[in-house]
Structure 1
Amino acid sequence: MVADPTLAELTECGVVAVMRGLEPETLIETGEALREGGVTTIEVTADSPGAIDGIDALADHFEGTEVHVGAGTVIDEETANAALRAGSEFVVSPSLHEAVIETCNRYGVASFPGIMTPTEAVSAIEAGASAVKVFPAKSVGPAHVGALKGPLGQLDIVPTGGVGPSNAQEYIEAGASAVGAGGSLIDEDAIAAGDFEVITENAEELVAAVEEGRDSE
């Protein structure tokens, strides 16, 4: 049995790709395009059509590779369990749900609950979260990440929502461990047209921005 990835492995590439609302038959090609562009952590949101089956297919396809597949938009224990049975290696939530964190801890899987305030961040860590997702990041910007890291330097933060190549470097410089990206990375029109090279190019651009931020720290 392959051990579940550590937080360091999940955030190594610096980007969590958020797949939301994609047609199930496009998931693997999209995942391969992301991988080619250097993004190796992929989240399929639970509110997507056929999400659990999609996670299962992606996890099976990428088993034994550097690509890690997880579930997003998980807000209850039932969905967390279904995602874990499908092969999720991490679980992301838009808000703080201790039952989801507890479920992940029970099976040794990383959890990234959504938070916005220091109180929520501390509650998440006390509940056993691996990292926290500042969401929606576009409402507060990179400065908020830096403000949270001030008193909570041990916090691993993954800002998500409105993050792209134009601001990813700022988030990393502010102290983020990685960034989550959906719309700036997953071009649905390109996918519908079968032009997966666009996804690879977007991934390369975003990974480069993250690397710039890490190099300047």
Structure 2
Amino acid sequence: MQRIETIKNIAESGVVAVIRAESKEQGIKIIEAVKKGGIKALEITMTVPGAVDIIKELCEKYKDEDVIIGAGTVLDPETARACILAGAKYIVSPSLNIETVKLCNRYRVPVMPGVMTVKEAVEALELGAEVIKVFPGNAFGPSIISAFRGPLPQGNFMPTGGVNLNNVKDWIKAGAVAVGTGGDLTKGAKTGDYDLITETAAKFIEEVKMARAK
């Protein structure tokens, strides 16, 4: 049931914050700013120094709060297992790695494998992925979601890469169940402007709500 609840919460939120940082300290500051802006789903990428430790720390810190901590840029089952044991509630990969999907299914943890083709999307569905990551989204544009959903209306697609405030509505209207956003959301960290991250996070949530309302 926890797996289903996690997927439901991510879909309802509509936005997954992809957290990349140069250090653990910066990563935590970004996470706090994003959370303050109202985004509940936080994807800590394995490119962040000490990512697994950060996941463990955050899962303990927010265990009584309405926050969903997951792991991103997970390339293999070994890393997926380490993240799951640290408390990650979902796993996101940039590509479709069959053994990683199997591992996550074994632990009943949602996994979002990355795809670029219909063939990969079908394979992901056959493996039991409830949400499929379309990556890199900026290589296609929002029309790729409606294109995928033509032959695969049963698929839940989440674009990541190139999703920003100017086009997030287009992604949602094209049929995306949620969007993943990183650089456009957290760019304030480069100058230490974490208030900008909070403001941007709130705007993303609002844009998704408006797109769904129309």
Letter in 2 for 1:215: A
Is the counterpart of residue 123 in structure 1 residue 123 in structure 2?
yes
1:91-125: CA deviations, max 9, x gaps?
Answer: 00000011111111111111000001111111001
The equivalent of 1:33 in structure 2 is 33
SS at match of 2:34: helix
The equivalent of 1:174 in structure 2 is 174
Is the counterpart of residue 8 in structure 1 residue 16 in structure 2?
no
The equivalent of 2:76 in structure 1 is 76
SS at match of 1:48: coil
Shift of 1:35: 1.8
Ranges in structure 2 where 5+ consecutive residues have no aligned partner = none
Alignment TM-score, normalising by the size of structure 1: 0.93
CA RMSD in angstroms comes to 1.5
Q: Distance in 1 between matches of 2:183 and 2:40?
A: 17
The equivalent of 1:58 in structure 2 is 58
Q: Distance in 2 between matches of 1:79 and 1:181?
A: 22
Q: Distance in 2 between matches of 1:153 and 1:202?
A: 31
Q: Distance in 2 between matches of 1:207 and 1:139?
A: 24
The equivalent of 2:197 in structure 1 is 199
Decide whether the 8 Å contact of 1:146 with 1:175 is kept in 2.
yes
1:56-77: CA deviations, max 9, x gaps?
Answer: 1121111121110111111111
Letter in 1 for 2:203: E
Q: Distance in 2 between matches of 1:102 and 1:64?
A: 29
Alignment of structure 1 residues 113-192 onto 2, 5 Å: 113-187=113-187, 190-191=188-189
Letter in 1 for 2:140: V
User: What percentage of residue pairs aligned between the two structures are identical?
Assistant: 43
Letter in 2 for 1:59: C
Letter in 1 for 2:213: D
Letter in 2 for 1:131: V
Alignment TM-score, normalising by the size of structure 2: 0.94
Shift of 1:133: 0.4
Q: Distance in 2 between matches of 1:68 and 1:157?
A: 19
Flag the 1:14–1:22 CA change in 2: closer, same or farther, 3 A: farther
Q: Distance in 2 between matches of 1:192 and 1:62?
A: 25
1:31-55: CA deviations, max 9, x gaps?
Answer: 2221221100000111221111111
